């Protein structure tokens, strides 16, 4: 897996974007990236830079913490790798 | 190197980084888009590694198939490989990214390099003329390569022992 991976981290970008009635292409233009980058961010395949995360949050009217702060399965207490290993 | 020295090094780009930027066309607007840049960097790393494997394989084949007559061409290929790898490491180092952990470099992925390198060096020893520029160069290349490999193995084992002590 490449360095650009966000290792399956969930985020709230897709939900916030649809709530704001924006298409992926419109959000991409607004924050100055390609549509493919927005797709990758929403899918959790790409961890955006702090500047891109701020731009996305600003355009969607939220905060970076609200959009990207949700812990991944592996980070949750009692969840993730240890729990899987115990099964 | 201290943190202040690292910062100063990265701030002062110098002719090498400027020239490398021109060679790599790093001022192109393509690099402004961060994911494009990241993905392209990964693709370039894959391409560089593949190029090193293929050219080393080509040099080995030249020596074994072409004999002494192919030696200058094989040496030229190895020198070009070394220059490309040197610029890559030098550019990263100039911007504060150093491969200091030799133990982390010693991994199974180096086996193809090792096999090709041994094949090349054995071929060079087999066909190198007893005297002359290329004979001396070939012998120097063999000795230098063996020295570098020994240094990497010893440094790697030391680094791993040190990490083991620190971790326990």
pLDDT range class, residue A83, cuts 50, 70, 90: very low
Between A14-18, A32-36, A59-63, B152-156, the lowest mean confidence (pLDDT) is in B152-156
The CATH code of the domain at A1-72 is 1.10.260.40
B41 neighbourhood in chain A, CB within 8 Å? 3
CA–CA separation, B44 vs B97, rounded Å? 17
Mean pLDDT by 10 residues, chain B (168 residues): 63 82 91 94 93 94 93 90 90 80 68 87 85 77 81 76 68
Q: What is the pTM of this model?
A: 0.73
Residue A77 has pLDDT above 60, yes or no: no
How many CB pairs below 8 A link A and B?
30
- Angstrom distance (rounded) from CA A16 to CA A71: 17
Closest chain A CA to residue B43: A2
Contacts of B29 in chain A (CB under 8 A): none
Question: Which residues have a Cβ under 8 Å from the Cβ of A59 and sit 6 or more positions away?
Answer: A20, A22, A27, A30, A31
For A28-51, the pLDDT digits (tens) are 999 999 999 999 999 988 999 999
ipTM of the complex in this document: 0.72
The answer on pLDDT for A82 being more than 50 is no
The span from the CA of B151 to the CA of B121, in Å, is 17
Spatial distance between the Cα atoms of A32 and A10, rounded to a whole number of angstroms = 22
- Determine the pLDDT at residue A41: 94
| Selection from B164, B163, B82 nearest residue B120 by Cα | B82
- H helix count then E strand count, chain A: 6, 0
- Cβ atoms of A63 and A57 closer than 8 Å: yes
Q: What is the pLDDT of residue A74?
A: 47
CB contact under 8 A, B34 and A33: yes
Q: What is the pLDDT of residue A42?
A: 94
Summarize the confidence of residues A11-26 as an average pLDDT.
Answer: 96
User: What angle in degrees, to the nearest 10, is found between the helix axes of B34-66 and B111-127?
Assistant: 30
* Percentages of chain B per state (helix, strand, coil), in multiples of 5: 85, 0, 15
Q: Other C-beta atoms within 10 Å of A17: how many?
A: 21
State residue A84's pLDDT score. Answer: 36
């Amino acid at each position: 897996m490449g360095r650009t991976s966000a290792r399956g981290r969930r985020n709230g970008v897709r939900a916030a974007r649809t709530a704001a009635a924006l298409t992926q292409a419109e959000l991409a233009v607004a924050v100055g990236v390609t549509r493919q980058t927005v797709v990758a961010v929403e899918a959790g395949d790409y961890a955006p830079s702090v500047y891109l995360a701020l731009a996305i949050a600003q355009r969607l009217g939220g905060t970076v913490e609200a959009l990207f702060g949700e812990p991944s399965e592996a980070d949750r207490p009692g969840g993730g790798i240890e729990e899987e290993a115990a099964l | 190197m201290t943190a202040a020295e690292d910062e100063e090094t990265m701030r002062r780009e110098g002719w090498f980084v400027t020239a490398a930027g021109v060679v790599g066309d790093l001022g192109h607007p393509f690099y402004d888009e961060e994911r494009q840049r990241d993905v392209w960097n990964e693709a370039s790393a894959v391409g560089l590694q593949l190029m090193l494997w293929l050219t080393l394989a080509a040099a080995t084949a030249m020596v074994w198939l072409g004999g002494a007559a192919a030696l200058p061409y094989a040496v030229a290929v190895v020198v070009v490989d070394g220059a490309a790898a040197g610029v890559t490491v030098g550019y990263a180092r100039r911007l504060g990214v150093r491969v200091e952990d030799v133990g982390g470099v010693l991994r199974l992925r180096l086996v193809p390099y090792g096999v090709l390198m041994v094949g090349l060096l054995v071929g060079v020893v087999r066909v190198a003329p007893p005297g002359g520029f290329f004979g001396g160069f070939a012998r120097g290349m063999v000795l230098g390569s063996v020295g570098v490999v020994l240094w990497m193995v010893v440094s790697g084992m030391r680094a791993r022992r040190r990490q083991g002590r620190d971790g326990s």
